[in-house]
Amino acid sequence: MKKKTGFLGTLYKNRVAYAYIAPFFILFGVFNLFPMLAGFALSFFRWDGLSAMHFIKFDNYINLFKDVLFWKALKNTLLIGIIAHIPILLGGLVLAYILNSKLVKGQNIFKTIYFMPMVTSSVAISIIFMNLFGYNYGLINYFLSLFGEAPVNWLGGDGSLIKVAVIVMFAWKWIGWNMVIYLAGMQGISNDIYEAAEIDGANHVQIVFRILIPLLKPIILFTLIQSTIGMFNLFTEPFILTNSNWSGGTNNGGLTLMMYLLNKAPQGGNAYGYASAVAYVITVMIVVISIVLNKVTAEKDPANTKKRGRK
């Protein structure tokens, strides 16, 4: 019998291994790869889910970029995400450093408390924040009244303050997630580095900015990308805070990209081709932001700078 060579020979030789990993690739192809390709193809059609599909080339994408509401949703999403990332990153880093430095007792209790928002229902959280930012019976307005201030219509009015409530809720939810990841990274750093810095007279601020942040840069990048994806997926919180209003409340103040997408299909309408185009535009944005963040981090990495210098 002639021995098989080349690709077929390798395939036959490792047939048992390929048989074991085949279920994963089959399931991935059926439930992941095929829907992604089908959704991308659908973005070039006009389809309401029932009638015949009509090929319209790039019309969905052209109409998308002409839609004022899309740009409003994009502006709201970026504004919420950029402002919320400041307390998310810094707050998570500070909390992780405090727990790692043994400045407080009962670290496990605090870990559980800080991480609890990530495992709590978004609907329940949104209802709580509705009571906090409520106009007539809100807790925040109650404290403002104690100082003689007039109540603020956070979730109504001209719609400009809806984003404040969403930012507070978004940041509160993600701080605990980042804290746990940063804490795991800090615990992987040798205590000898901390001790050497303390011997040299470094204070806590210098340790954080001169030692921890440079060593945690890959982990910070990971959490930044994760929370960026969460930013573009933001839906439940602003939707409930605006009383299930698909337009995002007054003057579209709480409208996000995910609300805009789901309002087209399948929740608010049946423009499935248009909704697919919106989904892929969001996907491209996430990919571009991730690549930019990786490039910026790589350029500031001393190791990469030395490599480029040798070349």
pLDDT tens over the chain, length 311 residues: 455 667 777 878 888 888 899 999 999 999 999 999 999 999 999 998 888 899 999 999 999 999 999 999 999 999 999 999 899 998 999 888 888 877 777 778 888 888 888 888 888 888 888 889 988 888 999 999 999 888 999 988 888 899 999 999 888 888 988 998 998 898 888 888 878 888 888 887 888 888 888 889 889 888 888 888 888 999 888 888 888 788 888 889 999 999 999 988 777 778 999 999 999 999 999 999 989 988 887 755 555 545 455 55
In the chain, which ranges are E strands? 45-46, 54-55
**Residue 283, CB-side half-sphere exposure with 13 Å CA sphere:** 10
C-alpha R_g of the chain: 25
- The rounded Cα 101 to chain-centroid distance in angstroms is 28
Instruction: Give pLDDT, residue 3.
Output: 59
Nearest of 279, 29, 243 to residue 155 by alpha carbon: 243
Nearest of 22, 67, 48, 89 to residue 224 by alpha carbon: 89
Instruction: Give pLDDT, residue 212.
Output: 85
Joined tokens for residue 262: 């789901």
Instruction: Give pLDDT, residue 299.
Output: 57
**C-alpha dihedral sign at 55, 57, 59, 65:** positive
Instruction: Give pLDDT, residue 199.
Output: 85
CB 256 within 8 A of CB 245: no
Report pTM. 0.83
